Amino acid sequence: MALHKKKPAALGIDLATTQESSSHGSIQVSDDSQFVTLSLASGASAKVLLYGATVVSWKIQDRELLWLSSASALDGSKAVRGGIPLVFPVFGPPPAGTAVEKLAQHGFARTSKWNLLGRAEDEEGSVRVEFGLSSDSLDEETKAKWPYAFGLIYSVTLRENTLETKILVQNPGSEAFDFNVLFHTYLRIPDVSTIGVQGLNSLTYRDKTLGGSEHQESSEVIKITSQTDRVYKSAPDAITVSESDKPLYTVTKTGLNDVVLWNPYSDGVEKIGDWEPKEGYKNMVCVEAGSVASWQTLEPEATWEGGVVHKAHL
């Protein structure tokens, strides 16, 4: 893959004065410089919290398409429960004996304050913002737990009926490092009992509700009827969430190997303190594109890129 010379800045553009409008739409930073809101003339919008660079809202014509817990912290005190948290450099509890073993579950990207790097629009009517995070941005405690030089550029692009999230991982250092990356997308759905997930049939998956044992998927349409936590390996690029054979969402990934399917269901939410309302599991399903079944290795002076397009069928 070609090297990208662009690097996350130590300090982004002036948040206090960042407001831009055009015939396509607008990008606006909140008064407290904690959120960036993208909007289009069509009525589509997205809201990104700089803490974790977490997308916390995606709307089309005032219809919310992401699920967010009403008890989720949005003040930077802990990772957001819902939206699209970004997992890096480890997925799940860090395995013992690895370079990430001292990190918290799901790593530090979702609990770090990102810099706003820039904004753009194109002739097709999209608006985009870019965020940066680097090893220089981390506190000393986190650096001690994962001491590699790195740079991340994360972009969020809003179009009329799609939301694209993309990440570029850079290794400016002299030592290779391994990492996982995942877009932990909470899709809002009408009722979990009526939806099905298609595109994963015949794949091998690791079932985390069964101790991580491996199984082969045998269903053309996967129904969520109990606590579900599966890592599907080498998944196809496009996964569809449907209701009564009508597509609700298509999740299309690029440069990413795997798909995680997750719903905590009624028994699982009781163990999640910031999950509200408790019956909210009925209105969400996580279809998460990532590379998590095995490690990605990034050599010195190399880059890696992956992303996902979420398309809503309204």
In the predicted structure, residue 9 carries a pLDDT above the cut 50: no
Cβ atoms < 10 Å from Cβ of 260:
27
pLDDT in tens, 238-282: 999 999 889 999 999 999 999 999 999 999 999 999 999 999 999
Instruction: Give the model's pLDDT for residue 1.
Output: 31
How many domains would you assign to the chain? 1
- Closest C-alpha among 89, 282, 270, 292 to residue 206: 292
Structural domain of 201: 19-312
Q: Is residue 1 part of a domain?
A: no
Q: Residue 243 belongs to what H/E stretch?
A: strand 238-243
Cβ contact 304:1 at 8 Å? yes
pLDDT in tens, 149-189: 999 999 999 999 999 999 999 999 999 999 999 999 999 99
Residue 29 within a domain? yes
Q: 159 a known binding residue?
A: no
Measured CA angle at 190 (ends 53, 281), to 5 deg: 60
164 domain residue, yes or no: yes
CA end-to-end span of the chain: 36
pLDDT of 20 higher than 80: no
Has residue 10 been placed in a domain?
Answer: no
Q: In a 3-state reduction of DSSP, which class is residue 51?
A: strand
7 within a domain of the structure (yes/no): no
Tens digit of pLDDT for each residue in 43-97? 999 999 999 999 999 999 999 999 999 999 999 999 999 999 999 999 999 999 9
Residue 290 lies in a domain: yes
| The pLDDT value given to residue 125 | 84
pLDDT band at 3 (very low <50, low <70, confident <90, very high): very low
Please give the pLDDT value at position 142: 96
Instruction: Tell me what pLDDT residue 132 has.
Output: 98
Sign of CA dihedral 102, 150, 12, 165: negative
Specify the DSSP class assigned to residue 79.
-
How would residue 13 be classed by pLDDT, with cut points 50, 70 and 90?
A: very low
Q: Across the chain, what does the average pLDDT equal?
A: 93
92: domain CATH number is 2.70.98.10
Chain center to CA of 299: 24
In a domain, 298, yes or no: yes
Asked whether residue 105 is marked as a ligand-binding residue, the answer is yes
Instruction: Read off the pLDDT band of 24 (50, 70, 90).
Output: confident
H/E segment holding residue 56: strand 54-60
**Better pLDDT: 20 or 264:** 264
Q: What angle do CA 130, 132, 133 make, to 5 degrees?
A: 155
- Indicate whether 6 belongs to any domain: no
Cis before 300 (ω within 30): no
Residues annotated as catalytic are: 184, 288
Instruction: Please check if 230 is assigned to a binding site.
Output: no
